[in-house]
Amino acid sequence: MADPLSPRTDLSLPELGYGASSLGNMHRVLPEEQAWGVLEAAWDAGIRYYDTAPHYGLGLSERRLGAFLQTKPRDEYVLSTKAGRLLVPNPGGENELDLDNAFHVPAVTRRQWDFSADGVRRSIDESLERMGLDRIDLVYLHDPERSDDLERNLASGTQALGDLKTEGVIAASGLGSMDPTALALGASSGALDALMVAGRLTLLEQPALADVVPACERTGTSIVTASVFNSGLLSSDDPADNPRYEYGAAPAELIDRASRIAAVCRAHGVPLPAAALQYTPRLPQVRSVVSGSSRAAQIRQNADWMGLPIPTALWADLEAHGLTP
Strand partners, 50: 18, 79
CB crowding 55-70: b at 16 or more within 10 Å, else e = bbbbbbbbbbbbbbbe
Provide the 3-class DSSP secondary structure of residue 116: coil
Task: Please give the C-alpha separations between residue 27 and each of 21, 246, 248, 300, in angstroms, as whole numbers.
Answer: 10, 13, 12, 21
pLDDT score recorded for residue 323: 98
Q: Of the listed 18, 50, 56, 279, which one is catalytic? A: 56
Q: What's the length of the chain?
A: 325
Provide the 3-class DSSP secondary structure of residue 290: strand
Cα–chain-centroid distance for residue 302?
Answer: 15
Q: Are 200 and 155 in contact (CB under 8 A)?
A: no
pLDDT score recorded for residue 231: 85
pLDDT score recorded for residue 5: 98
pLDDT score recorded for residue 269: 98
Could you give the domains of the chain? 13-177 (3.20.20.100), 188-201+210-325 (3.20.20.100)
Task: Please give the C-alpha separations between residue 171 and each of 4, 13, 289, in angstroms, as whole numbers.
Answer: 11, 12, 19
pLDDT per 10-residue tile (average), the chain, 325 residues: 92 98 97 98 98 98 98 98 98 96 98 98 98 98 97 98 98 98 98 98 98 98 97 92 80 94 98 98 98 96 98 98 97
pLDDT score recorded for residue 1: 58
β 244-245/248-249 pair status: antiparallel
Q: Is 77 a catalytic residue?
A: no
What is the DSSP code string of 263-276? HHHHHTT--HHHHH
β 222-226/194-198 pair status: parallel
